[in-house]
Every structure is written in structure tokens, then in C-alpha cells.
A and B are shown apart, each in its own frame.
Chain A
Amino acid sequence: MCKIISKYSKTGNLKYISHLDVLRFIQRSVKRANIPAKYSEGFNPHMKTSFGFPLSLGNESVGEYFELELNEKIEIQDFILKMNRVLPKEMQILSAEYTDGEESIMARCAFVEYLINIEFDNLDVDSLNDYFEEMLHTGVIYKRKKKNKKNKMIEKEINTRNFIKYLKAKKTSNNKACIEVVFLTTETGSMKTNEFMKLIEDKGFNITYFTIMKIESLDKNMKPILE
């Protein structure tokens, strides 16, 4: 079986494109690039692809992954070149390699690293870091509402301690700071960036603007899935 795993970026205005739309867009790009993709059999043949965890709407990323099955082997450099020629600058293949593909991207992904740039008028980064320490060690508990299988709203309690591996804020200028955070991704779920931002704002930290960049998806040894 010929299967390529690729790391790609999703930046700029593409942060407003949902996961499902990205899926279709990449499949079309494969087509435009004339990559010999493999299709499923049947009346509605579809391209054999698989993707990592969906990126939240509004987040940019330089650490997204997808796998693609091919009918015949092609040079990896050729694949990257052909794809990038047809992809917009906001979405580029950063690296790729052949994979045995035994474990899915989602199963391989154990941690996700983000950089969050924040802007503010008046914010004490030291006390923000104090709060981060609390999240990491003591744990901050919040409630997540979601629908269960029977479509009933249920509340689930989340403790930040169980889902954050690393968390630190650094002041970068007078009214700007950068937060580096590594979340755990487990079978039972993970913390979402918007929940994290809400915890900060609910604590009274007044943020005027922020951008979120996913830096990498990491395996259980904290190594990028693809270098």
C-alpha cells in the first residue's frame, strides 16, 4: 500500500474554514495537482484520505496532518512541489513522507502545542503566570455543556490539571504577551482553546485581541509526528 502522510499549514483567512471544508479542499487540490490518488469503489467513488483532529474555527496552524493513499509510488519531493504549486500560500505542505499507516494520525497524536499572542491595555503577566501555575498543579475546574447521544444537554466537569502539560506566558512588549501551551489529547477528549481563553477572561484578565497558532501535533514521546 502506498500512503503518504503530510504536514500542512492553515493560516490567514483560512482559519475561518471548517474542518469538513478543508477536507474537500485538499481533495480537490490533490486532483488539481494530478497526484495519482486512490479512490474507493462503488457508485460514489471518493478519494482515500484521513485527517487529524479537527482544528477549532478561528485558529491558525502550522502543524496539521493528513494521509493520502496512492495508486502508485511517486517521489516525495515531487508530491510536495506539485501540491504546493496548486495550494494557496495560506495552506502549504510543509513536509511529507511515506508511512506504513498502521496507526491513525489521531491515535498517534498525544499532545498539541499552541502559541497564543495576546494584546491588552493593562494586564499583569506575572499574575497571569500565577494563575497558569494553578491551572497546571492545583487544577481549575470548569463545566462543559454538551449534548449526549440522546441529544440531551449534559454538563461535564473538566479539570485543567488533567489536560495541560505545559503553560507559560512571556511578555513581548508593553501591551503584548505570548502564551505557550501544550494540551494533552486523550481518547476521552481534550481542552479546547476557546475554553482556555474563556477561563483567562473569566478570571478578570482583560484581553483586547488575540491570535492562536497551533505549532505542532506531538506523539507520546513529545516528538512532532513529522519533523
Chain B
Amino acid sequence: MIDIKKLDRKLLSVEKPARYVGSELNSVIKNKEDIDIRFAFAFPDVYEVGMSHTGMQIIYGLLNSIDNIWCERVFTPWTDMEKVMRDNDIPLYGLESKDELKEFDFIGFTLQYEMSYTNILNMLNLANIPFKSKDRGNDIPLVIAGGPCAYNPEPLHDIIDLFTIGESEELLPQLMKLYEEEKSKGWNKKSFLELASQMEGIYVPQFYDVIYNDDGTIKERKVLNENAKEVIIKTIIKDLDKSYYPEKSILPYIDVVHDRVVLELFRGCTRGCRFCQAGMVYRPVREKTVNTLYSQAESLIDSTGHDEISLTSLSSGDYSCLSDLAVKLLDKYEEQKVSLSLPSLRLDSMTFDIIERIQEVRKSGLTFAPEAGTQRMRDVINKNLTEEQILGPVETAFNLGWSTVKLYFMIGLPGETIEDVLGIKELAYKVKDKFFQRPKEDIKGNLKINVSASCFVPKPFTPFQWVKQDGIEELYDKAKSLQREIKDKKVSFSYHEPKLSFLESVFARGDRRLSDALIRAWEKGCKFDGWYDMFDFKKWVETFDELNIDPSFYASRGRELDEILPWDFIDCGVTKEFLIREYKNSIEALTTPDCRIVCSNCGVNNKLIGGVCPHVQNN
């Protein structure tokens, strides 16, 4: 255990010491003597962000439901705490036991966002654990990782011992079982990794090598170890109703980003937006039944006392039993002042009776995500949303009394012209007109339209994985011309930092050669890159210069369709043929229907389910 007395008084000098002490309601303390495997679930961002992550609550509950495993949590200490720890030789520790990370069997990082990679390094360093897998011997914890960014694991190939690809609720317990067996036989890291690499959904990067062409593209991938698979197929949970979901969630004492009960309605999405990685890699759609969700809500409210239930998914309005579920929950919880929230709602699919009922308990702002300003652009990205489908619900919302509206857009989309960019302004102004075009006596409240634009980042396993990202200057030009044009007191405009999106794009589609850049950038002091006030682009530019890496090779280069991509060895179920077809459609601005209407043969059903997708069967 770390020196608690040393920590004790120092903690009072840092901001929000509750981030670093654990002891929350529903956190799990176990007797070390009964434990064979100690697992540190590591979230490479601050406590408040990590504690809002449902995946962490699932894995934490799942692993702790196994008697001989103790899963603890660890987050990235904020800079003030990092300084305290370094000045006082306090190593990074698990929040529950206060034991230093080195004493654990596994450190499992979740990869939610490319810009958190330097935090992974910082956490390993604070734990006195070497960065590179090859420098970590048999007596050092295994460093594993999973989550959405693991679909392109290559930039971390030197650092992580083993990746889990896909959904790991079933895979992780199997991996733990294997570890337990191997440990009892006399531990050898390499032989464990060899056995693990035979499992479906496990990727061990050290068993492969990559050879490059003179132009920097990939020539070929070589399998170095006979146990390793040529292609790694993602794992999925076939029946979410039978899959583990925690009955209790840890209740933080301090305010966190999402402070509420989270119900996961379904996984996957049928919409097929071409920019969206989640919409491709989480296929197929698998819904939970109302009964399952209702009883999960009950136990989670009982165990936390939260006053809000969030119904989440990639597109909650598409849940086939949404109104049934919402009405059931509202009926039960209205009296107890528990409210419902529905993030990720496409308002075209929304029945306003539900929104109205929700509003009875508590009123919040409404968010619409048209993503692009013109119909042509929305067709390119396959948003499948007409202007009427945006303005209609907006008008309904105004009539119901809403007066604050957020509009989300992207700039830098493939094939975008200045007309498309300025179309964002046009659309925002049309929304404004909808507010004032109503009879005078209906106009209540103070209209506020918040328009925000993020910069498009092409992601692996999307139809846009081949396209070039706009350059930093181009993105600035587009953002600034919008800023100039939007001159209305009722409409505010903000945009995402293009430099950050550029870097995100580098790592999203990066290859093995970026591992060293991560380490060098960390050495220069890069951490919390996703935080504006911490992000230091100059250090990144220096890093790439020193290592002779051209970042625009990754971000601003269009790929040929036959180029070997760094993530091609992963099979996410959706075929490359489908992605190419969709890419070609995007160039023609041809839309592809929602796959609840027509199957577009993405291939996920053939590989992962055998037969047709569940949502089609139900219909």
C-alpha cells in the first residue's frame, strides 16, 4: 500500500481531492487473500470523465462479480495531483486498495479517444511501469486495452501487450480464466500471450511485423508467431438481454460529467451515416427488451438514488419500444421526481408526446444534429435528413415552449464547398425564422440558438477511411468565414480547434511508426491533449520534426482504394466491398436507406450472426 499518511495532508492542497480517494457508494472492497487476479480498470482521463463512462461501470461490475477477481479503478491524476505524487514519490495506485499499480496482474486501458493516448503513457510512468511491452518482464502487470479506438490499435502497438477487439463482456472473463490457469502453472508472459492470441477477438501486436513501401504506405503484414491469427474478428454479445449489466453503479461524491442512471437501449445503429465509425463497428443492431430495461432501471435507481435516467444508444429514437419504455418509467418515477433524458435523439423519428411528458418533470435544452448545412452535403454523408425533417420538429419544439436550441454541424466534410459551409448559417437562420414566424401571442421566452461546428475527422472502418482531411488552414478559413457571417444576437457560433482535429486524424488513421511519436511527445510534456488549455500543438510539431514523421501523410492524404490500410487485419463484420460501395455513392451524393427499410448487404449478418440481422427478424 502507498504511504497513506504522506498522501493524507497533501491531498488537501489539490483541487477536488475526492477524485483520488475512492470509498464511493457501491465501490467494491475485497479481501486480498481471496483474490487470484487483480485488475486495474484504467481510464486515461480525469475522474469526472471516467466515472461518467458506462463501459467502465459494466466491466467493473462484471469482473467484480467473479469471486477471485478484484477490479479497481484508476484515472489520470490532474496536473496538481501529478505534481504532488512526483514530489512525494507516491506511485499511481488503485482507488479501492490504495495499492500501487505495479502490484496488479492487469492494467486495462479503455481507448475512447485518440487524444488520451499521452495520458496512458503518463499513467504508466506514474506507476513506474516501462512504456514498451518488450521492456516489461514477467514480474510487471500485463497492460491491455480495448474500446472503440482499438479498431486501429497500431499507434499503440509497442506499448500495449494485448488488445481486445469488439465487445468484451464475454471475452474478458475467458481471458481471466486463461490467465488464472497459466499463473498456476508457473507464469510466463510470452506463453500466455501465445495462448491468448488464439482466442477470437484478441490481438497481440508483438506477433506481427509490418513492412513499408518507399512511399511510406504498407507493403505487407507478416505474422511472426504461429499462434497468431492472420485476421482478428471482433467479438460481439449476441443477446444483450442475457448479457451482464450492473445492478449497482458507483455513486461519485463529487459532480461528474454524467451524473445519472444510464440504460443502454441497444447497440448498433441502422442509419449508416458515412462519417460515423460507431455506426459501422457496433453493427448489428441488438435491442434489449422493455422488461430487461425496466428492471435494470429499478435496481440502479434503488442502489444510487439518482434523479435522472438517461436512455442511451447511438440513436435512441430508433428503439422500437421507446414510447412503451418511456411511459412505463415516467409512470413509475414521476412521483419520486426522477426525470428521463434522451440524448442522441434524431428528432425526425421522435414522437413529441414523449418529449412533452419528459418536460413535465424537468425541462432541458433541445439538441439537433443536422451535421451539414446543405441537402447535397447531407446526402454525401448519408444523414438521410431533409430540411423539412429538421425544421418541422424545430417548429413543434418551439410551439411546445422550448426556446433554447443547439445545432451540431461538421465542417471539412468530403467534397465540401464554401456554399455548403455557409449553408450552416442559412439553416441556423431558418431555425430562427421558425421561431418568429409564429403568431405573436405564441412567442414566449428568449430565443437562443447555439451553433457549433466540429472539424471532420476521417475514421477507420467508415466509407470515408480513404479520404483526405482538410488542412488546418482550410478548416480555419471555413470556421472563420462562418464566424464572420453569423451576425445575429440570437445565434451564437463556436467551433472545434482544427489543430486538435488534425492530430486526432493523424492517430485515428496512424500506423506503427507513431508509437515513438507518442513517447517523444510525452517526454516533451504532452498530456491531456484533449483539453484545450493543456493542448500544446507546438510540442507535437517539434516531435514529428525530430522523428522525421510527416503528420500530413496520415491526416491530409487521400488513399487509393487498393492501399493496404494499417487496420485492414481487423474484421469488424462490415465488408470492405460495402465501404467502397458507400464511398463511391458518397461521391455521387447518392443516399443509402436505413437498413431497417432495406438491407444494403454490409456483410455483418453473414459473418457475425449467420442469417439476417435481429432488427429485421423482429419486424
Contacts and interface: CB of A to CB of B under 8 A. Distances in A.
B305 A88 contact: no
A12 interface: yes
Contact of B337 (A12, A21, A39): A39
A32 B302 contact: yes
A196 interface: no
B25 A88 contact: yes
Given A43-B362, A88-B25, A209-B5, A57 B12 contact: yes
B9 interface: yes
B458 to A, nearest CB: 41
A197 to B, nearest CB: 10
Interface in A15-39: 16-18, 21-22, 24-25, 27-32, 39
> Which size class do A's interface residues fall under?
20 to 34
A13 B22 contact: yes
A224 to B, nearest CB: 27
Contact of B253 (A21, A30, A32, A57): A21
A58 interface: yes
A31 B25 CA distance: 14
Given A45-B337, A58-B12, A209-B5, A31 B23 contact: no
B254 A17 contact: yes
B23 A25 contact: no
Interface string B23-62: 1010000000000000000000000000000000000000
A86 B304 CA distance: 9
Contacts of B23: 12-14, 88, 90
Nearest to B338: A31
B16 to A, nearest CB: 8
Contact of B304 (A21, A22, A32): A32
B357 interface: no
Nearest to A26: B305
Given A21-B254, A21-B255, A57-B12, A13 B21 contact: yes
B251 to A, nearest CB: 7
Contacts of A31: 305, 307, 336
Nearest to A20: B255
B11 interface: yes
B487 interface: no
A32 B363 contact: no
B25 A57 contact: no
B9 A32 contact: no
Contact of B362 (A17, A44, A58, A209): A44
Interface string A80-110: 0000001010100000000000000000000
Contact of B251 (A12, A13, A28, A43): A28
Given A21-B18, A39-B337, A90-B23, A29 B305 contact: yes
Nearest to A57: B12
A44 B362 CA distance: 6
B401 to A, nearest CB: 11
A225 B307 CA distance: 31
A32 B303 contact: yes
A32 B305 contact: yes
A30 B251 CA distance: 14
Given A28-B251, A28-B306, A17 B18 contact: yes
B252 to A, nearest CB: 9
Contacts of B336: 31
B568 to A, nearest CB: 48
| Residue with the highest number of chain B CB atoms closer than 10 Å, among A12, A14, A30 | A14
Contacts of B253: 14, 17, 21-22, 25
Contacts of B137: none
A15 B304 CA distance: 21
Nearest to A209: B5
A43 B363 contact: yes
Nearest to A211: B8
Nearest to B303: A32
Nearest to B252: A21
Contact of B9 (A17, A25, A88, A209): A209
A13 B337 CA distance: 30
Contacts of A88: 23, 25
Nearest to A22: B253
Contacts of A45: 337
Contacts of A12: 23
Contact of A28 (B5, B17, B304): B304
Nearest to A87: B25
B17 A16 contact: yes
B40 to A, nearest CB: 19
| Residue with the highest number of chain A CB atoms closer than 10 Å, among B253, B303, B363 | B253
A67 to B, nearest CB: 19
Nearest to A56: B12
9 contacts: A13-B23, A14-B253, A18-B254, A21-B18, A28-B307, A31-B307, A39-B337, A43-B362, A58-B12
Given A16-B11, A30-B305, 12 more contacts: A13-B22, A16-B17, A18-B18, A21-B253, A21-B254, A25-B253, A28-B304, A28-B305, A29-B305, A32-B303, A32-B305, A45-B337
Interface of B: 5, 8-9, 11-12, 17-18, 20-23, 25, 251, 253-255, 302-307, 336-337, 362-363
Identify the 4 closest CB pairs spanning chains A and B, nearest first.
A28-B305, A31-B305, A32-B305, A13-B23
